[in-house]
Amino acid sequence: MKRLLALVLTMVLSPSVMARDSFQICWSIYVGWMPWAYADQQGIVDKWAKKYGIEIDVVQINDYVESINQYTAGQFDACTMTNMDALTIPAAGGVDSTALIVGDYSNGNDGIVLKGTSNLADIKGQSVNLVELSVSHYLLARALETVGMSEADVQVVNTSDADMVAVYSTDDVSAVVTWNPLLSEIAAMPDSHVVYDSASTPGEIIDMLVINTETLAEYPALGKALVGAWYETMALMSGNDAAAVEARTFLGEASGTDLEGYEAQLASTQMFYTPAEALALTESKVVLETMEKVAEFSFDHGLLGDGAPDAGFIGIETPAGTFGSSANVKLRFDPTYMKMAAEGQL
């Protein structure tokens, strides 16, 4: 009886093991991931999927963390997320994941805002409102290091990103860490100063498309189609011709702002419009060093699970070397497909 149940549930709850030709990827609203909306809308994804004889369904999920959880649970084959969340959610959950496309890094899109002072050191002793355990939390830890403080010097208050702007306008709140578009809205309020932002830690908060490593190994066509579609979209939306402006207008509107608002967000995002730029970061030592810092932060906050004896428990493989346990590699930065795109082999 129990075995029968187990069999039925395996079939229902786990991704199918049979050969298949249709795949699902998910994304959520963020400046660096909006191009998926355009690629989907304009049929670019379909075109590339057809070229490789598969079907790809692109799904938008309104809740960022929920989208990663769904991917981790096996409902989606690939999902957009940051480097830190890729380590702490799917990789720590035992789902071997690969960064297929390194899309951009935050270059001022995440920041710390203080009321009434423009000196980061004044944060000492204050309550800091942020989404706990997110990249904001990581950025705060990095910022505090630069002024010789640690998290023990402040009181972190978990605050939902949806309510960050409303919360900031109360008198109780004097310090927040958040991301765009909330960041620019908060920084524009009276007597508010961005005292530290991700431009000071270039290349550390990376936005990527993460794919299940096993699925990728079994169906390289999926990787090729996704990378092909992405860089075609990138080529379309960069530049200053009419088509590019039209694409950016569409993306602005789809993310709830307009062309100007979207371009302002792009200004604080280091987009990699060509595979060559993405490769330059992926293959550099920066990614390896960043992931080491991220892994240590995650371990300190218990994000790698109780079974983790140290920060290197989960191996992270990058072209420049592997951090942590090479026997337990769960997160890989794989330049293979971006290289194919750079060499025009897709």
Interacting residues with other proteins (CB under 8 A): 2, 5-7, 9-10, 13-14, 65, 68-69, 72-73, 88-89, 92-95, 129, 131-134, 155-160, 162-163, 166-167, 169-173, 302-303, 305-307
Task: Give the nearer residue to other proteins in terms of CB position, either 169 or 240.
Answer: 169
Min. distance of Cβ 320 from other proteins in angstroms? Answer: 26
Task: Give the nearer residue to other proteins in terms of CB position, either 9 or 217.
Answer: 9
Helix, strand or coil, per DSSP, at residue 325: coil
74: left (phi over 0), alpha (psi -120 to 50) or beta: left
Task: Give the nearer residue to other proteins in terms of CB position, either 68 or 113.
Answer: 68
Instruction: For residues 324 and 316, give the distance between their C-alpha atoms in angstroms, rounded to a whole number.
Output: 6
Task: Give the nearer residue to other proteins in terms of CB position, either 62 or 170.
Answer: 170
Task: Give the nearer residue to other proteins in terms of CB position, either 94 or 239.
Answer: 94
Cα–Cα distances (Å) from 182 to 152, 245, 259, in that order, read: 26, 24, 17
Min. distance of Cβ 21 from other proteins in angstroms? Answer: 22
CB pairs under 8 A, 24+ apart, for 3-11? none
CA 252 to chain centre: 19
DSSP β-bridge partners for residue 340: none
Min. distance of Cβ 230 from other proteins in angstroms? Answer: 26
All residues at 6 or more sequence positions from 99 whose CB lies less than 8 Å from its CB, including other chains: 83, 86, 206, 208, 209, 210, 282, 331, 332, 333, 334
Query: Whose CA is closest to 104, among 274, 318, 322, 307?
Result: 274
Min. distance of Cβ 1 from other proteins in angstroms? Answer: 8
Min. distance of Cβ 108 from other proteins in angstroms? Answer: 24
Task: Give the nearer residue to other proteins in terms of CB position, either 299 or 333.
Answer: 299
